Chain A
Amino acid sequence: MEVLIGITGKDFVLLTADTTSARSIVIMKQEEDKTRELNKHNLLLTIGEAGDAVQFAEYIQRNIKLYEIRNGVPLSTKAVAAYTRREMADSLRSRNAYQVNILIGGVDPKTGTPELYWSDYLAASQKMPFATQGYASYFVMSTMDRYWRPDLSLAEARALLQKCFDELKKRFIGNLPSFLIKVVDKEGIRTID
């Protein structure tokens, strides 16, 4: 029932995750943050198996940080996505695979060029202009196919995201009352309404 949506704009990536944390028929909390900052310009969103999602995200977060401390430079989004995919692939071929689906969004700190990577628990990975994880895909991908254009401004991207939310509210049986929306751009990562 969890949802991740990512949209690349002109010089930013808009990323959102629903904030519902539920088990079986009970909603435990409504302020769950399914994102983890990997470095100043890269954000990781994870959903999937209870526990795995957080564990995997924090493991990647720590290793990206370790790379930065060791080498004095942050990793690019492409490198982060490649590293994360590799960890997922290794885990898949081991006793306990992480059952986690992710989105990685980031910008190049110098040029502001945005990049969005979609990766799943089978370690498939693809760079995409817009992407979703979870049941949302069935509803929201077609909305974005219709309305996404390259070089969207932040306001336009936010409006597109609202169309997605409205679509989900109308057609998706799962109730997702709130979303956490983050923007990654040259300045860094921030939360918006």
Chain B
Amino acid sequence: MSYDRALTVFSPDGHLFQVEYALEAVKRGTCAVGVRGKDVVVLGVEKKTVLKLQDPRTVRKVSMLDDHVCLAFAGLYADARVLINKARIECQSHRLTVEDPVTVEYITQYIAGVQQRYTQSGGVRPFGISTLIIGFDVDRVPKLYQTEPSGIFSAWKAAAIGKSSKTVREFLEKNYKEEMSKEEAIKLTIKSLLEVVQTGAKNIEVAYMDEDAVLKQLDSDEVERISKEIEKEKEAEAEKNKKAGGSTSGVAPMQE
């Protein structure tokens, strides 16, 4: 029984199955969505239904890495904890040695680097999480990055990870507009999550960051209000389509 042999090895046809299985674990995690606006970046996460006896405040899906950088994940919570801790130490270490806060890209690269290292080391398995990292650098341009268990990372205008992320991503592709205002970006985030979160607004948590690089949470009343607004708009669309009825394009009205 040796504990230093590699667990993640190539298959004959060039797959790293452990990494692909890790992606499957991510797909089972609760959904997280990130949307970049003109001067704001928004994170929306699906909150797992809190069990009756559980204290909801101890389940945090959106974590601060430093004052100006924030992370949401999908997948194994415990793996996320380890990675977040490493990232937090790196943020402070960077400040100590370089006397500058990390850039969002730097810390993303660091996290992705850690994730990659665990696909190429003895005796360890890959992290079962994908992350969405948001923040503002000194250039005051909003940033959104995504990392995966394989160690790939890239910047996105809007991204989704976790359960039904494909559906959400398609929705985002259809509805994303450049240079969105804060309200539009938040609305799009909630709208896209409502597509897949069955239980509705009370299971959605939204946080956003302005140019001042301070993370702000939307309280649940605000999320409710925006969801209701979205519902009303959907109904209005459906009415319009029904009235237009028998349109030659044969587009079906929006289903509830």
Contact = CB atoms under 8 A, between A and B. Distances in A.
B92 interface: yes
Contacts of A72: 64
A58 interface: yes
Nearest to A63: B92
Contact of B96 (A62, A69, A70): A62
A74 B89 CA distance: 16
B216 interface: no
Contacts of B217: none
Interface in A120-137: none
A70 B65 contact: no
A53 to B, nearest CB: 15
For the residues of B in contact with A, the DSSP-based class is helix
Contacts of B93: 62
Interface residues of B, number: 12
A62 B100 CA distance: 12
Nearest to A55: B96
B91 interface: yes
Contact of A62 (B65, B67, B95): B95
Contacts of A58: 96
A134 to B, nearest CB: 26
Contacts of A70: 85, 88
B66 interface: yes
Nearest to B89: A66
Interface in A66-95: 66, 69-70, 72
Give 5 closest A-B pairs by Cβ, nearest first.
A62-B92, A62-B96, A66-B92, A69-B88, A69-B64
6 contacts: A58-B96, A62-B93, A69-B65, A69-B67, A69-B91, A70-B85
Interface of B: 64-67, 85, 88-89, 91-93, 95-96
Given A59-B96, A72-B64, 6 more contacts: A58-B96, A62-B95, A62-B96, A63-B92, A66-B88, A70-B88
Interface of A: 58-59, 62-63, 65-66, 69-70, 72
